[in-house]
Amino acid sequence: MSLLSVKDLIFTKCQIIVHTHLIDQKMKLVIFCVTLVAFANLANGKVLSDPVKSYENHQVLRVKIGSEEASNNLSEIAGVTFWNEGRIGGYADIMVAPKDITQVTENLIKQELDFSTMVENVGDLIRLEKVPAINRNEKPSSEHSMTWTEYHEQDDVESFLDYLANTYDFVEVESIGESYEGRPMRVVKVCKNGCGNKPAMWIDGGIHAREWITPAAVTWMMHELIDNDADHSDLTENLDWYILGIVNPDGYAYTKTNDRLWRKTRSPNDGGVCSGTDANRNWGYHWNNGGSSDYGCSETYHGAEAFSEVENRNIRDFVSKHKDQIKFFNTIHSYSQLVLLPWGDTTDNAPGYDKLKNLADKSNEALYAVHGTRFDVGCIPCLLYIASGGSMDWALGEAGIPYSYGMELRDTGRYGFLLPADQIIPTAEETWAFHQNAARMIADEFA
Ligand code: 0X9
Ligand code: ZN
Ligand code: ZN
């Protein structure tokens, strides 16, 4: 028996054990089992050859941000990596390596910053996230390798896109170019009687590599929209849909192979030691106007110039070509449970604010009705922080798309970017309810 099958055997056995135990025992068992699998991998030589960044015993702390001074003090403490910068009057989530915990907590106390521990060990959550959810009612398709009970690689997503295009005559897949490292970027186009004759919806996920729930939820919505078209055919009769599951495929691949918490693209920064631009600071509308960094190693590096990133240019060119048709634009992130309205660089109301807000509020009610998940609606700096060069600002300000949003999906920080796989479907269901309502309002206004 090969070592790989030893690993698979342990995994299968462990899953059976897990499912037959009480809920409060489940987490411990899962961790135990996944550790066993990790040992099997080690014996297999896998871990030895993979330069995977370890987050063993890294902690996430939630820090109260009472004032601008508190926020500045926090960002100057060495050893602090932000998961969420937070807004004044809210909370920041910071990750700290085990070697820095003592020094960071001493500093927080010295600065009189209140904090609590959100995640004891990021390594545990990374292992937990690999555990597939129990598949209750849908059997995996024989025609593609995508499911929504675990997180998948891009190849599985692409096989699903091929299946959609080959199965439905009202679905086309259009290549809009390649990523920096040459991965495909393919938009699913859902158009009955040909594209271009109706108001259109744009949805994208995965601009930030580590926000794994977003390609998962966006591809599930493709499945719901298309495979279950008969349940809500008005949505495809009255509208065209353009959907991109993974905006940043290089970063996404890198989170699978090297660093689970990578955020940026993977293009090199000239002369620098660090790679990657924050693709959500690289759009050419009020680019580099606050809340982004000149420093190539920063998580919010805005790039050498607006649209330095090929991924951004590919989307810009596609969306620009259809800008008169596209009425709704939503770029999907995680985490924090927010519906974000433009702008990112000012708290001034965007043009059409009342209508933007009304559509978001109504659609948020539909979202809430599904699983009782609470999202807040508001402008980016109103709920988070100043962030210029984001895609939704470009979509409204430059492309003139009237209903432009960003969404931050589950959760509010218990798992953060590392949402367990059994939350993929519920998250996708509520996000879909938001879009279904939004689509009907767009159709009412424009169709
Ligand atoms: O900082 C960001 O780019 C977004 N938050 S995240 O934690 N996902 O990185 C917030 C910016 C708001 N823009 C959009 N959500 N489009
Ligand atoms: Zn994001
Ligand atoms: Zn459900």
Would you give the distance in Å from CA 11 to the centre of its chain? 27
Q: What is the pLDDT of residues 302-331, one digit of tens each?
A: 999 999 999 999 999 999 999 999 999 999
Tell me what the mean pLDDT of segment 40-56 comes to: 66
Domain range annotation of the chain: 3-50, 59-127, 154-446
Q: What is the pLDDT of residues 356-401, one digit of tens each?
A: 999 999 999 999 999 999 999 999 999 999 999 999 999 999 999 9
- pTM summary value: 0.90
Ligand at minimal distance from the CA of 373 is 3
Active site residues: 408
Sign of CA dihedral 372, 378, 382, 384: positive
160 near 146, Cβ under 8 Å?
yes
How far, in Å, from the CA of 8 to the mean position of ligand 2?
Answer: 33
Q: How far is CA 188 from CA 36, 107, 183, 225, 314, in A?
A: 40, 49, 16, 11, 14
Q: What pLDDT sits at residue 26?
A: 52
Where does the pLDDT of residue 137 fall: very low under 50, low under 70, confident under 90, or very high at 90 and above? confident
Q: What pLDDT sits at residue 39?
A: 55
Domain 154-446 top-level CATH class: alpha beta
Q: Counting atoms of ligand 1 from 1, which one is nearest the CA of 338?
A: 15
**Reading across the β-sheet that carries 184-190, which strands appear in turn?**
171-178, 184-190, 240-244, 200-205, 326-334, 403-409, 338-341, 376-379
More confident residue, 136 or 241: 241
SS3 state of residue 319? helix
Topology of domain 59-127, per CATH? Answer: Alpha-Beta Plaits (3.30.70)
Tell me what the mean pLDDT of segment 20-37 comes to: 53
Tell me what the mean pLDDT of segment 416-440 comes to: 98
Measured from CB, residues less than 6 Å from any atom of ligand 1 are: 84, 208, 211, 280, 331, 333, 340, 344, 380, 384, 387, 390-392, 406, 408
SS3 state of residue 85? coil
Q: What pLDDT sits at residue 140?
A: 86
Report the candidate in 82, 78, 68, 67 with the shortest Cα–Cα distance to residue 108: 78
Nearest-angstrom CA–CA distance, 310 and 301: 15
Q: What is the pLDDT of residues 9-20, one digit of tens each?
A: 444 444 444 444
Residues forming a β-bridge with 172: 189
What residues contact residue 70 under an 8 Å CB cut-off, 6+ apart? 64, 111, 113
Is the predicted pLDDT of residue 121 greater than 60, yes or no?
yes
Share of the chain above pLDDT 90, in %: 86
